[in-house]
Chains A and B, each alone.
Chain A
Amino acid sequence: EAGVAQSPRYKIIEKRQSVAFWCNPISGHATLYWYQQILGQGPKLLIQFQNNGVVDDSQLPKDRFSAERLKGVDSTLKIQPAKLEDSAVYLCASNRFAGGGETQYFGPGTRLLVL
């Protein structure tokens, strides 16, 4: 079974530029998560999708971040315009459904550096 795929693996941009990340979850997984992991910290949930609907985006900075999962499969996360403090690893995770004890499977992440 293929794992969660993410691309690109690395991205360097200048502040005020735009960037987009892509995630393809494990086949059949209804729930998809985007996390931000700043160096030295644990992952912080940005947005959670159940199929193509948003379940939780309370910690997504909506003035600059957007995410979509149009067909309930793969997803994109966009930052426009980027700030220096957006430098982090962006992790995508998925599981079959959102429920207590359900395992989340993480992708390798996209490492973003904003100069």
Chain B
Amino acid sequence: TQLLEQSPQFLSIQEGENLTVYCNSSSVFSSLQWYRQEPGEGPVLLVTVVTGGEVKKLKRLTFQFGDARKDSSLHITAAQPGDTGLYLCAGAGDSSYKLIFGSGTRLLVRP
């Protein structure tokens, strides 16, 4: 069974601070996605990484896929209150596009 573990589960930081969220598995994934979910809404896709070692940047967010395609990280620089939300990683296996979601990291950025 493929599992994705995210850490930390909760993070409360001050505006302007940097943070990193981790997504780890013992399984290899063909691609990995990061989503942000706000209260009362469905998850919204932020990025998809498909190549081991790949780094993608989205404004102040930097996403990295591990060389072995088993783990990923999300780094936010100078966090803002608008970054508050639940961050979910989701991996797709080789044989199907069934997404396996991690349990999420709940981020609160205080003004």
Using a CB–CB distance below 8 Å, which chain A residues touch chain B? Answer: 4, 40-45, 48, 56, 91, 93, 98-109
Contact = CB atoms under 8 A, between A and B. Distances in A.
Interface in B1-57: 4, 30-31, 40-45, 48, 50
A107 B97 contact: no
B13 to A, nearest CB: 20
By size class, the interface of chain B is 20 to 34
A57 to B, nearest CB: 11
A102 B92 CA distance: 10
Contacts of A42: 4, 88, 90, 101-104
Given A45-B98, A106-B42, A106-B43, 18 more contacts: A4-B42, A41-B103, A42-B4, A42-B103, A43-B43, A43-B101, A44-B101, A45-B99, A56-B98, A91-B42, A91-B43, A98-B96, A100-B30, A100-B31, A101-B50, A106-B44, A108-B41, A109-B41
